[in-house]
Every structure is written in structure tokens, then in C-alpha cells.
Amino acid sequence: MTTLNFALIGSGSIGKMHAKHMARHIDGAKLAAIADVYADGARVCAEQHGVPRWTTDYRELLADPKIDAVMVCSATATHADIVEAAAKAGKHIFCEKPISKTLADADRALNAVQNAGVQFQIGFQRRFDPHFLRVKNAILNGEIGKPHIVHLVSRDPGPPGVGPIGLGGGIWFDMSIHDFDVARWLMACEPVSIYTQADVLIAPGLEQYGEVDVAVMVLRFENGAIVTIDNHCDSAYGYDQRVEVIGSAGAISIGNQANDNAILSNTHGLHAAKPLPYFLERYDAVYCHEVQVFVDCIRNNTPTPVGLRDARMSVIMALAARQSHAEKRVVMIG
């Protein structure tokens, strides 16, 4: 089978990480070109990972018949347009989350993908993490029985971003969106309602941009399960990513990983290291695995495990979470 030619669109922090993985770890695909509106960014990334071509205009790459697939790692506001254009150009698409911050844009892009019949995967990497997978498999295997309550914690090492980032509500589209997807994936069904308690507790001034920095959501799912999501934008002890599910036959929980598991005991007590700093460290191997699965799905012509519906539902949930916050009431979904 021939090696697939990938184009990377967007060479920011997550784009660079994918470039590194494609250069070293991914089988069956190679990075043939990089596009970034910042020429230096594209050039340096290309040089660093031996990528033969770079450009500031991703349309050039979409027009190149030798490019088989694209990795959309640009700013969120550009995702929908690029996905639509890539689909119309017949490229397979891996898109970082979220697909969009509006449902209209999301649907326009996702419809283009569906019409083109190309492969599409949205970047919910936690589904590929061995810890999260253990939870999923515990549920699938019946180890905890029927799920009753789920707690999801996602806390960023902060400080929270400040500024006019699109339509506001960044926390729901950037942070919570992972938890929304994890909840749907674990429950294997859809949410029916959501209630949000959120506020600016950390960075006064965020309000003017329609942002919050602390948010707790409680959702009800079709299977009866109650899900809470805990998001915090400035965790003093660093990046915190946890899950707990209790069911009729037991419970399963996962915690964080650190650089080392040493315990230092001294006159002040027992001490251990903080979690790995942030998503690039915490999920490095997971991002790699995620992309390998995408490449394999293209090569084997099998459906990607995180597709159109997942991209769309996560946007719907983020919108509902934001609406619940704005209207201070429970919002029904679907």
C-alpha cells in the first residue's frame, strides 16, 4: 500500500506536535507539506521535520492532487471553512476540536464532508488514552454494571486566556468540549439536558468577553445517568484530568500522571510530583495513536472512530452549556 501524503494546516503548538509525530512515528503516511499564515512558522516547522514544502496559503495544498489528507490545526475560527474547502477538494480530513463555535458553520462543513464522502476525524484524543480506555472498557465489560453517575474533571494549569476570542464562551468550546465528548462516548448515548453553574472567579474582566473561568455542568443522559463536569482555568497544581463512574455493580476512576511517581517523606509530610504540565505532555503518545488510527482508517477504508456526529454533538452541547449559563436555567438538548 502506498504511503499517504498529508498536509498540515496550522503549525502552532498542536500542529508542531503532529508534525513531529508524522515525521517519526506514524506508519503509512508522511507529511508532504505545511501551510501556515505565518510564513516563518510554516518554514521552521517544515525544516525541523524534513517536510519538503511549505506555504502560507493552504488552498495551494488543497489544489495539489498528490495530497491525500489534511490535518486542520489552525485557529478555531478557520476550521469550518478549511474543512469545507478540503472536503470539496476530496481530501481526507483530521480536524482539531472544535469544528466550529456555531452550529450553522459546523453543519456547512460537516455536510460538505458527507457529500464528498471523504474520511473525517475530529480531534478528541482522550478516546485513545489508555486510562480513559480502561474506563470505557470497564463499562463495556460490565465491570461496574449500569452507569449511574459520572464525574469528569478538566482543569487547566492557567492562567485563563483573556481577550476577544470569537463569540465568547471559550471554556465550553475549548475545555468542556472534551468532557462532552468523553461523556457521550462513555455513556454510548446522547444527553437530554444540561445545567451550568459558571462564573468569573479567577480573572476579573473576563466577563466583558462573554467568558467564564470556572464552570460546573450537570447533565442527564438517555440511559438515565447523571454526569457532572468540573472545569477550572487556573489549577494551582497543574493540569488535572480525571474521570469517575459509579454504576450498579461498582465504580471506576482514573487519576493523573506525573513525570515520576516518587514519594519524598520528610519532617513536613509526604510529597509527590504534580501532574504532567499540560496536554502536550499528558497526551503526547495519545495524539500519536489517534493519528495512526486515522491513517489506518483511510488506508483500510474503515470508518473513523470519532466522526461527523461526534463533532456536531459536541458543538450542540457547548452551545447548550453556554445558553444554560446565560439564561440561568436547565436547557434541554435534542
Binding site for a second copy (CB under 8 A): 24-25, 130-131, 133-135, 138, 143-146, 148-149, 151, 155, 193, 195, 197-199, 201-202, 214, 216, 218, 220, 224, 226, 228, 230, 232, 234-237, 240, 246-257, 259-274, 328-330
Q: How far is the CB of 18 from a second copy (least distance, A)?
A: 16
> Can you give the C-alpha Rg of the chain in angstroms?
20
- Closest to 93 (Cα-Cα) out of 302, 310, 298: 298
Q: Are 8 and 34 in contact (CB under 8 A)?
A: yes
Q: Are 333 and 190 in contact (CB under 8 A)?
A: yes
Cα torsion for 106, 227, 129, 174, to the nearest 10°? Answer: 40
Q: How many Å separate Cα 130 from the centre of its chain?
A: 16
Q: Which is nearer to a second copy, 146 or 309 (CB)?
A: 146
Q: How far is the CB of 189 from a second copy (least distance, A)?
A: 14
Q: How far is the CB of 332 from a second copy (least distance, A)?
A: 10
**Distance (Å, whole) CA 215 – CA 323:** 13
Cell of 111: 455536510
Q: Which is nearer to a second copy, 271 or 309 (CB)?
A: 271
Q: Which is nearer to a second copy, 53 or 148 (CB)?
A: 148
Q: How far is the CB of 330 from a second copy (least distance, A)?
A: 6
Phi, psi at 232, each rounded to 5°: -140, 135
Q: Which is nearer to a second copy, 117 or 269 (CB)?
A: 269
- Closest to 184 (Cα-Cα) out of 136, 145, 233, 137: 136
Q: How far is the CB of 45 from a second copy (least distance, A)?
A: 17
Question: Residue for cell digits 483500510?
Answer: 300
Q: How far is the CB of 30 from a second copy (least distance, A)?
A: 13
Per residue, the 3-state secondary structure of 222-246, as one string, reads: CCCCEEEEEEECCCCCCCEEEEEEE
Question: CB-based burial of residue 32 (10 Å sphere; 0-12 exposed, 13-18 middle, 19+ buried)?
Answer: buried
Q: Which is nearer to a second copy, 38 or 278 (CB)?
A: 278
Q: How far is the CB of 193 from a second copy (least distance, A)?
A: 8
Q: Which is nearer to a second copy, 97 or 126 (CB)?
A: 126
Q: Which is nearer to a second copy, 43 or 274 (CB)?
A: 274
**Distance (Å, whole) CA 46 – CA 10:** 12
